[in-house]
Structure 1
C-alpha cells in the first residue's frame, strides 16, 4: 500500500500511513454496519482529515486515492475471507459491493469538500497577505526594515533588478503577461492595477514586449535595485502613464522615453498655467482653428522642426504649414527660431495633449510682445526654408 501512494507515504511516514489506512478501513466497515441499520456514515473524521491534509500540502488526488485504495482493500479482504470459509456464499456477497462503494464515495466526498474549503481559505489568506506585502512596498510608508522583510517574504532578492508597471484606468492584466518575464506580482486596487516586475537579467524593453499582446495602456518605471525604492518607482510609473497624450490608445510608455511630458504631468497646476500663458490665445480660438494650429504645431515638433516633412504628414503645401506656424507665432508672441521659445511651446503643447481643451472658451493670458522680424534668424518658422 505505501508503494501505491508515494506522496502520502512521503508526507506521513510509513508507520503513520499504516495507521491512517487502518482508520479508513475501519470507517468503511463502520459505514457498512451503520448502513445496514438505515443510518448514514459518520463523516466527521473524513472532513477533519481533508482539512488537515490540505494544510499539510498533500495533493487532493493523493488523498482521494487513499480512500479508493482503502475501499478496494476492504472488498478484497471480505471476498478472501468468504472464499476461505464458505465459497458457496460468494454470490450472496455481491449485493454488498454497491453499499461499500457508496460508503467510500461519501467518505471521499466529505474529505474532498473539506480539503477544497481549506484550500480556498488558505488561498484567500495568502492573497491578502501578498496584497498587504505589496502595499507596504508600493506605498513606501513603512520603515526600511519592514520593507526589506516584505520583500523577503515575497521572495524578492536584494539587491535585484525591479520595475513597476501601472495600467490605465479600467485596464486589466487578467491575461497574465508572464511570457518572457521571470515574475510579475500584480496588486489590484480601486485606482487600478500595479505590477511588480522582477526583471532578473532581462532588459527593461522586455516589459513592453510582454505587455504588447494585452492591448493595454501602461506606464513603466525605470529599473531600481532595492525593494525600498519601489514606492518611488510606482510614482514614476504613474507619471509615465500620464505622460502619454490623451486618446493615444493602447501602448506601453517607458518613463525615460517621455521625461519632458512626465515633467509636465508631475505638476498639474504649473501645467495648467503653462497652457494658459503660452497657448492661451490659441486655445481661445474657435474649435476648428484651434485644432488646426495645435495639430500643425504638434506635427512640426514631431518632424524635428521640418516644415517640408510636416507638410507631407498633414497632406498640405509647405507654405500652408509656414503660414499656420507664422500665425501661431503672432498669437503667442513666441518665435519658432528661438530654442527657448520652442521649449515653451513644446511643453505647453504637451500639457494640452495630456488634458484636452474643454468646450468652454479659454480666457487667454496676454501674450508677450511679438518678436521683431529683425531679431529672427530666418524668414520661415524654425529656420525651415532649407528643409
Structure 2
C-alpha cells in the first residue's frame, strides 16, 4: 500500500487540496456554529492538514506501525478552545474520510486502473485510521472542555467572593457576572445540614424561568447563594429552597452589589438566630430580628441568659425545660394562657402556675412590658446557647393564633392577678 501511495502522492496531493476546498465550503454552508466561530482560511488549513495526516496514518498502519495521533489531539484541543461544537468536529472527520477515499480511487485510477484491486483492502484500514483520529480528537476536546469548565468555575467563584466578601473590584465583578448596577438582591446562607445535598455542579437548588436568578458559592465555611430577585418578592426564595429541606438564613433586600457583603453577614445572622431544633426552611432576617439581635453578640447573649434566666437554668433539667418551653409558647401565643395551654396540651391553670413560678425565680413580672422584653430576649439566648439542647425545644404544634386582640377571657397578659 505504501508503494501505491508513493506512486500517486503528487496527484493525490492536488486532489486532497480540492477535497479540502469542497469540505471547507460544505462545512461553512451547512454548519452555522462552525461558520460563526472560525474563518474560511483557518478552517481550510485545518481540514487540509487532517486529510494529509490520515494518508500518513494509512501508510504507517500498512507497515504495522501505530498511527501518529498528536495532530488529531491538537485539532481537538484547538476546537474546544474556540468553542466549536464537538459534533461539528466529528462530522468533519466523517465527511473528510469519504472525500479522501474518493480522492484515492481517482488518483489510482488515473495512474493505473489495473492497480485498483490492490487499493480495495486499504478501505478497512483507512476507516480504522479515521476512527482512531476521530476518537483522539474527541478525547482531547473533552479534556480541554473540562479544563476550561474548571477554570470558568474558578473565575466565577473568585467573582462571587469579591461580592460576598466585599474584597476586590465589586463593580467589575458584578458586571462580569451579569448583575445590574442597581436592582433587588438578597443573600442566602444554607445550614450545615445541607452537606452533599444539591446535585448541581455549582451547588444549590436549580432556579426555573419563573424564579429569581441564583448564583451559588460553596466554601469550607458553608454554601451561600446570591439572589438577583428582579421583580420577584423575597418570599419566593422560600419556595425555591423548600426542596432542599434544610435550614437557611435570608438577608433583607439590598439595592446594589456593593451592599452584598453586608447582606451575607445578615443572612448568616438570620441562620444563627434559628433554634437548632427548628424545622427546615428559610428564615428571613426581618422575621427574626429579636433573636438575630441576641445572636449578633454571643458574649452579651450569654450574659443576658445568665442574668435573667440563671435561677431557672440551675433547676433540674426537666424542670428548666418545662418552664422555658411554657415561656416560649406563651410568648408565641401573644401572652394568651388559653392558647398556650392548648398548644401544650394542659390546663390553663397549669400554664399560669408555671409562669408564676418563673416570675418568682427570675424576679421579672410578665405584666411589665420591659420585663417581658428581657425575658423574650433571654429566652432566645437560651434557645441559641450551648445549653439549649434538651432544655428549650421548639413549642409543640397547636392551633394557630389569630391576628388582632386576644379573645375575651384571655386578655390578661400576666398570670398575676391585677393589683
Do they superpose with TM above 0.5? yes
Relative to structure 1, the CA distance from residue 351 to residue 358 in structure 2 (aligned partners, 3 Å threshold; closer, same or farther) is closer
1:234 paired residue number = 264
Of 181, 190, 205, the residue aligned with 1:167 is 190
- 1:164 counterpart SS class: strand
Q: 1:47 aligns with which of 66, 73, 97?
A: 73
Q: Which moved more, 1:106-115 or 1:283-292?
A: 106-115
1:195 match:
225
Cα distance in structure 1, aligned partners of 2:388 and 2:234: 36
Match of 1:121 in 2: 147
CA distance in 1, matches of 2:228, 2:411: 53
Counterpart for residue 178 of structure 1: 207
Q: Is the 8 A contact 1:60 1:115 kept in 2?
A: yes
Match of 1:247 in 2: 277
Match of 1:56 in 2: 82
Match of 2:339 in 1: 309
Structure 1 226/381 Cα, relative in aligned 2: closer, same or farther at 3 Å? Answer: closer
Larger deviation: 83-92 or 197-206? 83-92
* Alignment match, 1:158: 181
**Residues 232-251 of structure 1: CA deviation (Å, up to 9, x unaligned):** 00000000101111211311
Distance 1:173 1:379, change over 3 A: closer
2-structure distance, mates of 1:324, 1:248: 24
What is the SS of the residue equivalent to 1:33? helix
Aligned-partner Cα distance in 1 for 2:361–2:224 = 43
Q: CA deviation at 1:82?
A: 5.5
Aligned match of 1:28: 54
- Say yes or no: does 1:382 pair with 2:409: no
SS of structure 2 residue aligned to 1:185:
strand
The DSSP-based 3-state class of the residue aligned with 1:196 is strand
From 246, 250, 262, the equivalent of 2:292 is 262
Matched, 1:10 2:36: yes
Q: Is 2:244 the counterpart of 1:221? A: no
Worse-superposed segment, 227-236 or 75-84: 75-84
Question: Which position in structure 2 is the counterpart of 1:133?
Answer: 159
Match in the other structure for 2:11: none
CA drift of 1:302 comes to 0.6
Matches of 1:251 and 1:137 in 2, distance apart? Answer: 25
Structure 1 Cα separation of the partners of residues 73 and 148 of structure 2: 16
- Aligned residue for 2:76, secondary structure, equals helix
Q: Deviations over 1:155-182 (max 9, x none)?
A: 1111121111101114143352313434
Look up the SS of the partner of 1:187 in the other structure: strand
Task: Give 5+ residue unaligned stretches, structure 2.
Answer: 1-25, 392-409
Give 1:58 deviation, angstroms: 0.6
TM-score using structure 1 length:
0.88
Please, which of 160, 166, 172 is the counterpart of residue 149 of structure 1?
Answer: 172
The 3-state SS of whatever aligns with 1:382 is coil
Measured at CA, do residues 359 and 264 of structure 1 come closer, stay the same or move farther in structure 2, by a change above 3 Å? closer
Answer with 43-52 or 207-216: which moved more: 43-52
Contact (CA 8 Å) 1:28, 1:100: kept in 2 or not? yes
Aligned equivalents of 1:45, 1:239: Cα separation in 2: 56
Preserved CA contact (<8 Å) 2:382 2:388: no
- What CA distance in whole angstroms lies between the structure 2 residues aligned with 1:94 and 1:359? 82
Summarize deviations over 1:285-324 as a string: whole Å, max 9, x none.
0011111101111111111000011111111111111001
Q: What is the DSSP-based 3-state SS (H/G/I as helix, E as strand, rest coil) of the residue aligned with 2:380?
A: helix
Alignment deviations for residues 306-350 of structure 1 (CA, whole Å, 9 cap, x no partner) = 001111111111111100101011111111111111111111111
Q: How many pairs are equivalent?
A: 367
Given the two structures, how large is their TM-score scaled by the length of structure 2?
A: 0.82
Query: Is the Cα–Cα contact under 8 Å of residues 212 and 229 in structure 2 kept in the other structure?
Result: yes
Change in Cα spacing, 1:360 to 1:6, as seen in structure 2 (3 Å) is closer
Q: Aligned residue for 1:280?
A: 310
> After superposition, what is the alpha-carbon deviation per residue over 1:253-306, rounded to whole angstroms, capped at 9, x for unaligned?
011111111001001111101111111111000011111101111111111000
Distance in 1, Cα, partners of 2:340 & 2:253:
35
Any idea what the Cα deviations from partners look like across 1:333-368, whole Å, max 9, x if unmatched? 11111111111111111111112526999xxxxxxx
Instruction: Answer whether contact 2:353 2:415 (CA < 8 A) is retained.
Output: no
Distance 2:110 2:416 in 1: 108
